[in-house]
Chains A and B, each alone.
Chain A
């Protein structure tokens, strides 16, 4: 965002007068000022989509709250990051999210929910998950009206259609990160997109084509950016299913990928001598957090004989 060196602007942040670079977001200015702002759909290495709304702040004079992750600071702005309106909206956003999506693997979500006293259970007991294919068949602009006694969720069976990673959209908060990573922010493959509308919006390939038949090249960049565990390495998924996932037995080692000359930084997570997850630091100047199939999943071929996906 910060093209060239521009001027400084002065504005008021929680009662303090602060300086920020022109063109900087409120969220970035908050970080410089030591104010911890919750974010879920924002990521250092992706274009902001400002859809989760957990980062909202109050800008004096504005009718509605502003997403701090993408709203730029302006000279003279008066911003409140912890007003009752802000706290109430953040709490409600977390409650709505937690009531409809399985956020159990997001430690950020757990922290925020605690901080804002969110009670996702207040909308009633969760509805049964849908059977496979039901959410995919929704007509835009139509839904079945229920009796309101159960809170609708995005619950559905996990999609397992290849050996490398699974898609458990029960955990999908629709942060758009995977779509951005697969598209113009990193991979330029465009194998997945948001389909459907409203509460039925979802991440999909065309006509729900299984990944191996789609444009997917299995770079795993979508898995790398997914904040909720909806996209998960098959190795990790299998261990979790078997009840054998054990973080206390895991170690992380940084190494340089040896497949080609680019020199991507890999972080290998190992349990019982098996690689269970491969990531790359999002602040790495070489990868920006993104890898290719060889770095991300090469271990599959190192450790066991490859199977056709």
Chain B
């Protein structure tokens, strides 16, 4: 491979941002040898972040410099950079706002914020001009904001993320967004950080430390029973940990509900080496914010749980893949990892056990699809975030082609209690099919939106009561369960017990724990069209059923919204699209892209509006 680079040079700021990551190297020597090239490739995403956060965009010269340093073909690096919504390929103002107009925020008045912003700041970004060219005066011009899918702050909708590029980049995400608060943040005065509202119906397990122990203090974490589980794991031995996790019947909380014990055993027994552990903290399912609350409120728990996962599966290295829109979680996790390392809780010979493990934090860059486990591996590896065909499954062929245990944040945190107190204690709450407690992301028209921990099997109406019920003066219309990839349920389903088996029986899903309540004043058809737009935007584009099917589904809904046709007339097409996306798509995105819309049809949510 003889790479051809261009003669456009990086600016001093770009060069120093990339050098800060990769180290200063004589003569821009590219990495030598196959292994070096592969290892270097995994630094592509961090290097693109370095460019974006230092100068506010990925320029031609900056990209070319990264390619030279990493030995990556420029066309491929461009293909990767242009995959992610947080990377701009045209020069932009250094302060830039991403304003959520997704379902929870739309129901909470995001359109009003957007139109006011449009009046004050001008039109939002709608496309790249010719990519790669800098403005003549060197300053960033053009749109100062863009619309964004769910930012994971739905309990404080409407939400915004403001990024300020520079030598010391400053990003902040906040709820209760108004045009003037966004303007202030763009000018460098972000609103004060508010912690999320959390509550539970019984003793807290997953949320035990959130809002209680200082998330920036290892001592506080240990004072609140931190690292007792890891000590217990070393007593039990790796086999003992596998046994407890299997006996606890813990199933994954990332949406697919796969038994964690089985996954870990498969990795532990896999003969290929090395093994990897991955924490999936990409949380981007619209309406979901529970992982953020854990990551921000109890970052050491994630570090400890990943260490246990590493111990049980025979992995020495863990990757924590955090969605790019969570600046506060990024700060707290980075701090937690550093403190754990300094405290001998990561690195060689942890707690004198002889076990070595370390964690690398990787930041996503605005792509829902990178939460799909195999797309996530590709993203870490410096490739486009395109899902792989399965089988083979990650437990055999995962990150870097090696056996990999990938788990959701909440799944991992649940392991702590299981290991510390034993499987029997864990299964003492919940239902037979779904033991333990579950986090629910309650938002929309309820009195106290927030993250709620309740035992599996708690009825939907009991959960809503815990959240203070529907806002005074409003009537509930429908609830979105499980996120955009989930389904709507009606008022007559309030007695539904929230467990994997009961929701499956009722033809719906717990998904990622979304409980998004809509009142009867919210027009539902635009919400449905927003869901369709979400899948169109977030499709990776690989396979035909999803790449084109999501477009046709949105067009169909637009025709209904505009009165060009009727839902009744479009039903056969909608059904066919749903079928082919579900049956023939590569991954779960395409496979579930029609489920919420089809459930809305079944509930008659379209009817009284048109």
- Name the residue of chain A whose CB is nearest to the CB of B563: A147
B547 interface residue, CB < 8 Å from A? Answer: yes
- Asked if A196 is at the interface (CB within 8 A of a chain B CB), the reply is yes
Chain A interface: which of B120-128, B194-202, B463-471, B500-508? B120-128
Contact flags A57-100 to B (C-beta < 8 A → 1, else 0): 00000001101001100000000000001001100110011011
A53 interface residue per 8 A CB criterion: yes
A240 at the interface (CB under 8 A from B): no
Apart from A51-B543, A97-B548: 13 A-B pairs, beta carbons within 8 A: A54-B544, A85-B583, A88-B583, A138-B127, A149-B559, A188-B1, A193-B76, A196-B541, A198-B540, A199-B539, A205-B74, A206-B75, A214-B75
Specify which chain B residues have a CB less than 8 angstroms from the CB of A276 in the assembled complex: none
B82–A174 touching, CB < 8 Å? no
- B576 CB–A CB distance under 8 Å: yes
How far does the alpha carbon of A154 sit from the alpha carbon of B331 in the complex, in Å?
41
Which residue of the partner chain, among B76, B131, B539, B554, contacts A145 with CB atoms under 8 Å?
Answer: B554
Which residue of chain A has the shortest Cβ distance to B98 in the bound complex? A141
Q: Is the CB of A190 within 8 A of B76?
A: yes
Do A214 and B4 have beta carbons less than 8 Å apart? yes
Residue numbers in B under 8 Å from A16 (CB-CB): none
Evaluate contact between A89 and B77: CB separation under 8 angstroms. Answer: no
Say whether A192 faces chain B, with CB atoms less than 8 Å apart: yes
**B residues in contact with A205, CB < 8 Å:** 74-75, 78
The answer for the CA separation of A209 and B550 in the assembled complex, in Å, is: 30
A92 adjacent to B128 (CB under 8 Å): no
Q: Which of B260-268, B441-449, B530-538 contacts A (4 or more CB under 8 A)?
A: B530-538
Asked if B73 contacts A215 (CB within 8 A), the reply is: yes
Question: Does B580 lie within 8 Å of A207, measured CB to CB?
Answer: no
Chain B residue at minimum C-beta to C-beta distance from A147: B562
Given contacts A137-B131, A148-B554, contact A206 B63 (CB under 8 A): yes
Q: Which residue in chain B gives the minimum CB-CB distance to A193?
A: B79
Could you show 28 A-B contacts with beta carbons less than 8 Å apart? A50-B389, A51-B543, A51-B544, A53-B545, A53-B584, A53-B585, A56-B584, A88-B580, A89-B580, A92-B584, A93-B544, A93-B584, A96-B544, A97-B548, A137-B127, A140-B83, A143-B533, A145-B558, A147-B558, A147-B564, A174-B547, A193-B76, A197-B541, A198-B538, A206-B75, A207-B60, A207-B78, A208-B130
Tell me if B11 is interfacial: C-beta within 8 Å of chain A.
no
Q: A85 CA to B579 CA in the complex, in Å?
A: 9
For chain B, the count of residues having a C-beta within 8 Å of the partner chain is 75
With A138-B128, A140-B84, A145-B558 given, is the CB distance from A151 to B552 under 8 Å? yes
Binding site for A on B (CB under 8 A): 1-4, 6, 60, 63, 73-79, 82-85, 89, 125-132, 146-149, 366-367, 384, 389, 391, 529, 533, 536-545, 547-552, 554-562, 564, 573, 576-577, 579-580, 582-586, 591
A residues near B74, Cβ cutoff 8 Å: 205-206, 215
Q: Is the CB of B584 within 8 A of A198?
A: no
CB distance from A47 to the nearest CB of B (A): 12
Q: Assuming A92-B584, A124-B555, A147-B558, is B389 touching A97 (CB within 8 A)?
A: no
- Asked if residues A195 and B79 are in contact (CB atoms below 8 Å), the reply is yes
Are A141 and B366 in contact, with the CB atoms below 8 A?
Answer: yes
How many angstroms between the C-alpha atoms of A138 and B576 in the bound complex? 28
- Complex: chain A residue closest to B369, CB-CB: A197
Within residues 119 to 177 of chain A, which ones have a CB less than 8 A from any CB in chain B?
122-124, 133-134, 136-149, 151-152, 173-174
Rounded to whole angstroms, the CA-CA distance of A149 and B570 in the bound complex is 12
Asked if B75 and A148 make an inter-chain contact with CB atoms under 8 angstroms apart, the answer reads no
Are A93 and B4 also in contact (CB < 8 A) when A139-B125, A148-B562, A190-B75 are?
Answer: no
**Given the interface contacts A92-B545, A207-B132, does A139 sit within 8 Å of B126 by beta carbon?**
yes
Instruction: Give complex CA distance A143, B530 in Å.
Output: 12
Q: Is the CB of A96 within 8 A of B127?
A: no
Asked if A99 and B78 make an inter-chain contact with CB atoms under 8 angstroms apart, the answer reads no
A30 interface residue (CB < 8 Å to B): no
Residue A292 lies at the interface, judged by CB distance under 8 Å to chain B = no
Q: Report Cα–Cα, A6/B274, bound state, in Å.
A: 26
Residues on B with C-beta less than 8 A from A152 are: 551, 555
Residue in contact with A143 in the complex, picked from B63, B128, B537, B560, CB distance below 8 Å: B537
Q: How distant is the Cα of A139 from the Cα of B124 in the complex, in angstroms?
A: 12
Q: Is the CB of B366 within 8 A of A140?
A: yes
How far apart sit A84 and B539, CA to CA, in the bound complex (Å)?
Answer: 27
Query: Is A201 part of the binding interface, using a Cβ–Cβ cutoff of 8 Å?
Result: yes
B584 x A148 contact (CB < 8 A)? no
Question: With A149-B564, A151-B552, A206-B63 as given contacts, are A137 and B591 in contact (CB-CB < 8 Å)?
Answer: no
| Distance of B484 from chain A, by nearest CB (Å) | 14
Chain A residue with minimal CB distance to B60?
A207
Residues of B close to A110: CB separation below 8 A: none
Question: Cβ of B537 and Cβ of A141 under 8 Å apart?
Answer: yes
Alpha-carbon gap, A278 to B478, bound state (A): 62
The answer on a CB contact under 8 Å between B82 and A197 is yes
Contact B537 A198 (CB under 8 A): yes
Specify which of B89, B367, B541, B584 is in contact with A89 (CB 8 Å cutoff): B584
Q: Across the interface, which residues of B come within 8 angstroms of A204, CB to CB?
A: 75, 78-79, 82
Measured between beta carbons, the chain B residues less than 8 angstroms from A71 are: 389, 391
Given the complex of chains A and B, what is the CA–CA distance between A67 and B529 in angstroms?
A: 30
Asked if B536 and A143 make an inter-chain contact with CB atoms under 8 angstroms apart, the answer reads yes
Residue of B nearest to A141 (CB): B85
Known contacts being A92-B584, A204-B79, is A142 close to B147, with CB within 8 Å? yes
Which residue in A89, A136, A138, A193 is a CB contact (below 8 Å) of B579?
A89
CB B141 to nearest CB in A, in angstroms, measures: 16
Asked if B545 contacts A215 (CB within 8 A), the reply is no
Determine if A89 and B85 form an interchain contact, defined as CB atoms under 8 angstroms apart: no
Within 8 A of B (CB), among A196-223: 196-201, 204-209, 214-215
> Is the pair B552, A123 in contact by a Cβ cutoff of 8 Å?
yes
Q: With A133-B130, A143-B537, A196-B541 known to touch, is A206 a contact of B559 (CB < 8 Å)?
A: no
B584 pairs with A65, CB closer than 8 A: yes
Contact A56/B583 with A137-B127, A195-B78 known, Cβ cut-off 8 Å: yes
User: Hey, which chain A residues are within 8 Å of B542, CB to CB?
Assistant: 49, 51, 174, 201
In the bound complex, do residue B389 and residue A70 qualify as a contact, i.e. CB atoms below 8 Å apart? yes
Taking CB atoms, residues of chain B closer than 8 Å to A173 are 544
Return chain A residues, CB-CB under 8 Å to B555: 123-124, 146, 148, 151-152
Does A194 sit within 8 A of B, measured CB to CB?
Answer: yes
B75:A193 contact, CB within 8 angstroms: yes
Residues of A within 8 A of B384 (CB): 194
In whole Å, how far is B125's beta carbon from the nearest beta carbon of chain A? 6
Contact of A215 among B4, B543, B585 (CB under 8 A): B4
Per a CB cutoff under 8 Å, which of A53, A85, A88, A148 touches B556? Answer: A148
Q: How far, in angstroms, from A85 to B585 measured CA to CA in the complex?
A: 13
Taken together as a complex, chains A and B put the C-alpha atoms of A97 and B549 apart, in Å, by 9
Q: Which chain A residues lie closer than 8 Å to B548 at the CB level?
A: 96-97, 99-100, 199
Q: Which of A133, A139, A201 counts the most chain B CB atoms within 10 A? A: A139
Query: Do A148 and B73 have beta carbons less than 8 Å apart?
Result: no
CB pair B541 A148 closer than 8 Å: no
